[in-house]
Amino acid sequence: MNSKPENLHTSMKNTVKQWFQRRRLTAAFVMLAIVTSGIVVGSVLARGVQGKTIQSGAQDAVPLHVPPLTEAPNNAFAKIAKMVGPAVVNINTESLPKKMQPQARRGRRTAPDDNGDDNGQGSDNFQDFFNHFFGQQSPNGDDGGDGDDDGGARQALGSGFIVDPHGYIITNNHVVDKADKIFVKLSTDPDGGPADLGRPAHVIGVDKDTDIAVIKIDTDVALPTVQLGNSESAEVGDWVLAIGSPFSLAQTVTAGIVSARNRTIDGGAAGQFQRFIQTDAAINPGNSGGPLVDMNGKVIGMNTAIFTTTASYAGIGFAMPSNTIIDVYNQLIGPDHKVVRGSIGITFQSALPNAVKREYGFTQGVLVGSVEPTGPAAAAGIKPGDIITTVDGTSIKDGDDLVKNISSRHPGTTVKLGYIRDGKPGTATVGIADRSKLFANLGEPTNGPETAPQEEKQDKLGITVKALTAEQASKLNVHGGVVITGVKSGSFAEDIGLQPNLVILAINHTQISDMESYRNLINSLKSGDDVALVVRSLRDNSGSNTYVGGTLP
């Protein structure tokens, strides 16, 4: 009885299975047909589109047209360039063949040269800042301009800007320095090719301390001029434009911001009166002497130098502030055509180690390094080691303050100095002299014979010394001291900048008269003591002392 239902069940199962197999096969054929049809249709459509493109050609393309002139909204850069550009000039110079002198690469100065003064001596902390006055001749003598390396006249290129409609132009001194011929090309002058250098110009006056020159061209018509602004209004982050002739490309405009103010790039006489506006506006060879312009269209600086290792733009440029330019210009166009700065006849160190300040007991003021024997400070009784704290009752923060105050005064006037000597306050009335005359005959380094007494063994400082001879003391105009003959690598002495041929004159306020006094001072020192030394170069008879020091490990 059970066999029939089982057979029926099996039969029904097979039937259903066959039905599904037939449906799957049919579905497969249907899907294959659809896909094939799609491929065929797609090919037809593709051919149809392609064929339509070929058939239509470019008949339905709409021609392009140059739109009418429009002014970009709020395009202040373009407005400023149009405003200032006509007064920016291209300056070419020619120098007749001269014997070329090798130029020394700039580098960090050693301790004895790290002096500042109201005459200005100091350290150069920009070790890689070489050949930075890019208006000067490059190693091949052409400053990126049309050089002649075959012994003929050399040409150099720079920029300038007109400040007086009668043809007075401000540029860098290094653009026109030592030039036999100067030519100026206005923005409106036609470009006649390499032979057309421009209109002849002559020098009205120069100031090497600020690298500023005033030149003039003759003109029968009033020339366009720039407007000078107040450089004190420039703030870090302000937009500025640099305009000039980089790489002989006249009327080039670049934009950037003021990236720093009151920047010093050279120490001493080369940089005592140079406090630059720093900018990242692209400045290159040929820009030198061109204007740095603010967003009011006012000239707030003159592009003067760049920081570079390639002689081209590296993101940092320096412009002489307009306030300095105005002061110098007004003096250069005067009857004497020169800049006169006051001086009291002292030298000082622009940067002092903290250990020296602690030992001498001051945080603000100027520690006198040396006193010019024929100067007004010496006549008033100022001595090396005095700390000048005030000028006419005004506190002096550092050497920059002192130089700014004194140099602005007229020779023949007087000032009242407040100072500290051996911890006690004092005052002195000091005359003002002409800086250029007072320091015109500073002593030159000497290289006289040196006799060498017995050297001491290496001491706590890490140096070996010998006694100063009577001949050496006479040349240096000192009464005693010891000469460093060797410095141990990695020692305290090396860390604070001591080196051979420096003469140690005093340690911690105590003068060194001979080897015995030196030994006694050294033996009294212990770890953790502040050590302040007064030193001078054995080969320098200028009378300038340097203060070095640190905390003894």
407 near 328, Cβ under 8 Å?
Answer: no
Which ranges constitute the DSSP H helices of 491-545? 492-495, 515-524
- How many C-beta atoms lie closer than 10 Å to residue 194's C-beta? 11
Q: Which of 124, 174, 209, 370 is catalytic?
A: 174
Is residue 211 among the annotated active site residues? Answer: yes
Q: Are 521 and 512 in contact (CB under 8 A)?
A: yes
Helix (H, G, I), strand (E, B) or coil at 528: coil
Work out the angle at residue 352's Cα, subtended by the Cα atoms of residues 349 and 357, and round it to the nearest 5 degrees: 120
Looking at the DSSP bridge assignments, the partners of residue 464 are 486
Provide the residue type at 496 as one letter. Answer: I
β-pairing, 482-487 with 463-467?
Answer: antiparallel
Distances (CA, A) of 17 to 12, 14, 22: 9, 5, 9
Whole-number Å distance between alpha carbons of 318 and 279: 6
Q: Which segments of 15-98 are extended strands (E)?
A: 88-95
* 143 in catalytic set: no
Report whether 408 contacts 435 (CB < 8 A): no
Q: Which of 159, 231, 288, 544 is catalytic?
A: 288
Joined together, the tokens standing for residue 286 give: 């040929």
Count CB-CB contacts under 10 A for residue 336: 9
Residue type, 422: D
Contact 184, 198 (CB under 8 A): yes
Selected catalytic residue, list 117, 118, 209, 211: 211
Any idea which residues carry the catalytic annotation?
Answer: 174, 211, 288
